[in-house]
Amino acid sequence: MARFQVTHFPLLEKAPTSAAALRTKLSEMLISSTSARLKVESINPTTGEYRIVVQGTIDTEKIPFEGA
């Protein structure tokens, strides 16, 4: 699996995107993180709509920041 880099964050916000593409990028982000946690901000049981926040730290020692 490819390593997620800091420069990839804008790709997570591009819409529209498929669930499969988003799942791949989120998986890469989590695997490339030294720490991560998730907070469920809201969920609507009627519609199934949800809002989550993922907070973590990307391992930048193995992958240098490309914009620096």
pLDDT in 10s for each residue of the chain, 68 residues: 678 888 888 888 886 778 888 888 889 999 999 999 999 999 999 999 999 999 999 988 765 555 54
Give how many domains the chain has, as a whole number. 1
1: in domain: no
Asked if the structure places residue 15 within a domain, the reply is yes
Q: Which residues contact 62 (CB under 8 A, 6 or more apart)?
A: 3
Contact between residue 56 and residue 37 where contact means Cβ atoms under 8 Å apart: yes
Would you say the C-alpha torsion 14, 37, 5, 22 has a positive or negative sign? negative
Q: State the pTM of this model.
A: 0.71
pLDDT of residue 66: 52
DSSP state of 12: H
- Asked, for residue 42, whether it belongs to a domain, the answer is yes
Is 67 a member of any domain? no
pLDDT of the residue at 62: 62
